[in-house]
Protein backbone atom coordinates (compact mmCIF):
# COMPACT_ATOMS: atom_id res chain seq x y z
CA UNK A 1 0.00 0.00 0.00
CA UNK A 2 1.35 3.43 -0.99
CA UNK A 3 0.67 6.53 1.09
CA UNK A 4 -0.90 9.41 -0.79
CA UNK A 5 0.80 12.80 -1.06
CA UNK A 6 -0.76 16.25 -1.14
CA UNK A 7 -0.34 16.22 -4.91
CA UNK A 8 -2.17 12.89 -5.13
CA UNK A 9 -5.13 14.31 -3.23
CA UNK A 10 -5.54 17.06 -5.81
CA UNK A 11 -5.94 14.45 -8.54
CA UNK A 12 -8.55 12.46 -6.58
CA UNK A 13 -10.74 15.21 -5.14
CA UNK A 14 -12.27 18.17 -6.93
CA UNK A 15 -12.00 21.61 -5.38
CA UNK A 16 -14.84 22.39 -2.96
CA UNK A 17 -17.57 24.61 -4.33
CA UNK A 18 -17.74 28.29 -3.33
CA UNK A 19 -20.82 27.49 -1.24
CA UNK A 20 -18.95 24.82 0.74
CA UNK A 21 -16.20 27.34 1.53
CA UNK A 22 -18.64 30.13 2.35
CA UNK A 23 -20.70 28.03 4.78
CA UNK A 24 -17.88 28.25 7.36
CA UNK A 25 -19.04 31.21 9.44
CA UNK A 26 -17.05 33.22 12.01
CA UNK A 27 -19.79 33.16 14.64
CA UNK A 28 -22.87 31.30 15.89
CA UNK A 29 -25.93 32.47 13.94
CA UNK A 30 -29.60 31.74 14.63
CA UNK A 31 -29.51 28.35 12.86
CA UNK A 32 -26.40 27.15 14.67
CA UNK A 33 -27.75 28.40 18.00
CA UNK A 34 -31.00 26.48 17.51
CA UNK A 35 -29.08 23.31 16.66
CA UNK A 36 -26.85 23.58 19.75
CA UNK A 37 -29.88 24.24 21.94
CA UNK A 38 -31.50 21.03 20.64
CA UNK A 39 -28.37 18.90 21.05
CA UNK A 40 -27.92 16.45 23.95
CA UNK A 41 -24.60 15.09 22.64
CA UNK A 42 -21.35 16.24 21.06
CA UNK A 43 -17.79 15.05 20.52
CA UNK A 44 -15.01 17.27 21.88
CA UNK A 45 -11.68 17.18 20.01
CA UNK A 46 -8.49 18.71 21.44
CA UNK A 47 -4.78 18.64 20.60
CA UNK A 48 -1.90 18.12 23.00
CA UNK A 49 1.48 19.78 23.30
CA UNK A 50 3.08 16.65 21.78
CA UNK A 51 0.84 16.77 18.71
CA UNK A 52 -1.49 14.04 19.98
CA UNK A 53 -5.23 14.38 19.42
CA UNK A 54 -8.03 13.42 21.77
CA UNK A 55 -11.72 13.01 20.96
CA UNK A 56 -14.16 12.61 23.83
CA UNK A 57 -17.95 12.08 23.92
CA UNK A 58 -19.90 14.66 25.96
CA UNK A 59 -23.58 14.59 26.79
CA UNK A 60 -26.29 15.99 29.00
CA UNK A 61 -29.81 17.25 28.86
CA UNK A 62 -31.02 18.89 25.66
CA UNK A 63 -29.05 22.11 25.23
CA UNK A 64 -26.47 21.15 27.87
CA UNK A 65 -23.89 23.30 26.05
CA UNK A 66 -24.82 26.94 26.65
CA UNK A 67 -24.63 29.57 23.92
CA UNK A 68 -23.39 32.58 25.87
CA UNK A 69 -22.99 34.77 22.77
CA UNK A 70 -22.24 34.60 19.05
CA UNK A 71 -18.61 33.77 19.85
CA UNK A 72 -18.88 32.00 23.19
CA UNK A 73 -19.93 28.52 24.29
CA UNK A 74 -19.94 27.17 27.85
CA UNK A 75 -19.80 23.40 28.29
CA UNK A 76 -20.16 21.94 31.81
CA UNK A 77 -18.00 18.93 32.66
CA UNK A 78 -19.84 16.08 34.37
CA UNK A 79 -18.42 13.08 36.22
CA UNK A 80 -16.26 10.76 34.15
CA UNK A 81 -13.14 8.64 34.38
CA UNK A 82 -10.91 11.47 35.68
CA UNK A 83 -8.30 10.99 32.93
CA UNK A 84 -8.98 14.61 31.88
CA UNK A 85 -7.07 14.12 28.62
CA UNK A 86 -9.15 16.79 26.91
CA UNK A 87 -8.68 19.35 29.65
CA UNK A 88 -4.94 18.71 29.91
CA UNK A 89 -4.76 19.43 26.19
CA UNK A 90 -6.69 22.66 26.67
CA UNK A 91 -4.39 23.98 29.41
CA UNK A 92 -1.08 22.43 28.28
CA UNK A 93 -1.52 21.98 24.52
CA UNK A 94 -2.58 24.21 21.67
CA UNK A 95 -5.84 25.27 23.32
CA UNK A 96 -7.65 24.67 20.04
CA UNK A 97 -10.91 22.76 20.38
CA UNK A 98 -13.55 21.49 17.99
CA UNK A 99 -17.03 20.33 18.92
CA UNK A 100 -19.23 18.19 16.69
CA UNK A 101 -22.89 18.44 17.71
CA UNK A 102 -25.54 15.79 17.05
CA UNK A 103 -29.32 16.04 17.31
CA UNK A 104 -31.17 12.70 17.36
CA UNK A 105 -33.29 12.33 14.23
CA UNK A 106 -31.40 14.98 12.22
CA UNK A 107 -28.72 13.68 9.86
CA UNK A 108 -26.82 16.96 9.60
CA UNK A 109 -24.22 17.79 12.25
CA UNK A 110 -22.69 21.07 13.39
CA UNK A 111 -18.98 21.74 13.84
CA UNK A 112 -17.81 24.55 16.10
CA UNK A 113 -14.14 25.45 16.49
CA UNK A 114 -12.20 27.90 18.61
CA UNK A 115 -9.91 28.23 21.61
CA UNK A 116 -10.79 26.82 24.98
CA UNK A 117 -10.11 27.86 28.55
CA UNK A 118 -11.31 26.31 31.80
CA UNK A 119 -13.13 27.83 34.75
CA UNK A 120 -14.14 26.60 38.18
CA UNK A 121 -15.81 29.86 39.19
CA UNK A 122 -18.31 28.95 41.96
CA UNK A 123 -21.10 31.16 40.59
CA UNK A 124 -20.70 29.71 37.10
CA UNK A 125 -20.73 26.14 38.41
CA UNK A 126 -23.82 26.86 40.51
CA UNK A 127 -25.64 28.15 37.42
CA UNK A 128 -25.18 24.82 35.62
CA UNK A 129 -26.57 22.26 38.05
CA UNK A 130 -27.90 19.19 36.26
CA UNK A 131 -28.76 15.72 37.58
CA UNK A 132 -28.71 17.38 41.00
CA UNK A 133 -25.01 18.24 40.81
CA UNK A 134 -22.92 21.22 39.68
CA UNK A 135 -20.23 20.50 37.07
CA UNK A 136 -16.64 20.11 38.21
CA UNK A 137 -15.41 22.68 35.69
CA UNK A 138 -16.70 24.57 32.67
CA UNK A 139 -15.06 24.70 29.26
CA UNK A 140 -15.27 28.21 27.83
CA UNK A 141 -14.89 28.21 24.04
CA UNK A 142 -14.02 31.42 22.19
CA UNK A 143 -15.69 30.47 18.90
CA UNK A 144 -13.97 31.34 15.62
CA UNK A 145 -15.55 28.94 13.10
CA UNK A 146 -18.99 27.36 12.75
CA UNK A 147 -20.41 25.23 9.96
CA UNK A 148 -22.93 22.53 9.22
CA UNK A 149 -21.95 19.16 7.78
CA UNK A 150 -24.28 17.54 5.28
CA UNK A 151 -26.16 14.43 6.40
CA UNK A 152 -24.47 11.86 4.14
CA UNK A 153 -22.32 10.24 6.85
CA UNK A 154 -25.26 9.68 9.18
CA UNK A 155 -27.50 8.60 6.31
CA UNK A 156 -24.93 6.01 5.20
CA UNK A 157 -24.54 4.73 8.75
CA UNK A 158 -28.30 4.77 9.43
CA UNK A 159 -27.39 6.07 12.87
CA UNK A 160 -30.94 7.04 13.74
CA UNK A 161 -32.48 3.82 12.38
CA UNK A 162 -34.94 2.02 14.62
CA UNK A 163 -32.88 -1.14 14.07
CA UNK A 164 -30.58 -1.33 17.07
CA UNK A 165 -27.85 -3.76 18.03
CA UNK A 166 -28.93 -5.73 21.14
CA UNK A 167 -26.81 -4.62 24.11
CA UNK A 168 -26.30 -8.27 25.00
CA UNK A 169 -23.90 -8.82 22.06
CA UNK A 170 -21.16 -7.06 24.05
CA UNK A 171 -20.15 -7.70 27.66
CA UNK A 172 -20.41 -4.77 30.06
CA UNK A 173 -17.62 -2.19 29.91
CA UNK A 174 -16.54 -3.21 33.42
CA UNK A 175 -16.18 -6.82 32.27
CA UNK A 176 -14.28 -5.74 29.15
CA UNK A 177 -11.81 -3.65 31.17
CA UNK A 178 -11.40 -6.46 33.72
CA UNK A 179 -10.52 -8.90 30.94
CA UNK A 180 -8.16 -6.39 29.32
CA UNK A 181 -6.33 -5.35 32.48
CA UNK A 182 -7.01 -7.94 35.19
CA UNK A 183 -8.13 -5.07 37.45
CA UNK A 184 -11.43 -4.82 39.28
CA UNK A 185 -14.19 -7.40 39.12
CA UNK A 186 -16.50 -8.24 36.19
CA UNK A 187 -20.04 -6.93 36.59
CA UNK A 188 -23.23 -7.43 34.61
CA UNK A 189 -24.61 -4.73 32.33
CA UNK A 190 -27.60 -4.36 34.67
CA UNK A 191 -25.33 -3.52 37.61
CA UNK A 192 -23.29 -1.11 35.50
CA UNK A 193 -26.42 0.73 34.37
CA UNK A 194 -27.58 1.10 37.97
CA UNK A 195 -24.18 2.50 38.93
CA UNK A 196 -24.32 4.95 36.04
CA UNK A 197 -27.61 6.34 37.38
CA UNK A 198 -25.97 7.37 40.65
CA UNK A 199 -22.91 8.87 38.94
CA UNK A 200 -24.48 11.16 36.33
Contact 110, 100 (CB under 8 A): yes
pLDDT band at residue 118 under the 50/70/90 scheme: very high
Residue 104 carries which DSSP code?
T
Cα 14 to Cα 21: distance, rounded to the nearest angstrom: 13
CATH dotted code for 16-161 = 2.30.110.10
pTM flag (> 0.85): yes
Tell me: pLDDT of 131 over 80. yes
Task: Determine what percent of the chain is predicted with pLDDT higher than 90.
Answer: 82
Cα 41 to Cα 101: distance, rounded to the nearest angstrom: 6
pLDDT tens, position by position, 37-80: 999 999 999 999 998 999 999 999 999 999 999 999 999 999 88
Chain region(s) in the chain for CATH 2.30.110.10: 16-161
Buried b (16+ CB within 10 A) or exposed e, 8-33: eeeeeeeeeeeeeeeeebeebeeebb
pLDDT of residue 68: 98
Instruction: List 97's β-bridge partners, or say none.
Output: 46, 114
pLDDT band at residue 105 under the 50/70/90 scheme: very high
Q: What is the mean pLDDT of the chain?
A: 94
Amino acid sequence: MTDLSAEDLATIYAKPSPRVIAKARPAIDAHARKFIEMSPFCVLATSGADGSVDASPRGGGIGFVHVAGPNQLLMPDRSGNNRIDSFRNVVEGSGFVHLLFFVPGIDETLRVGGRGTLSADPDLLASMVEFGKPPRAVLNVAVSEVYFHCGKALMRSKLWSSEKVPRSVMPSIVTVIHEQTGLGEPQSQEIVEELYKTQL
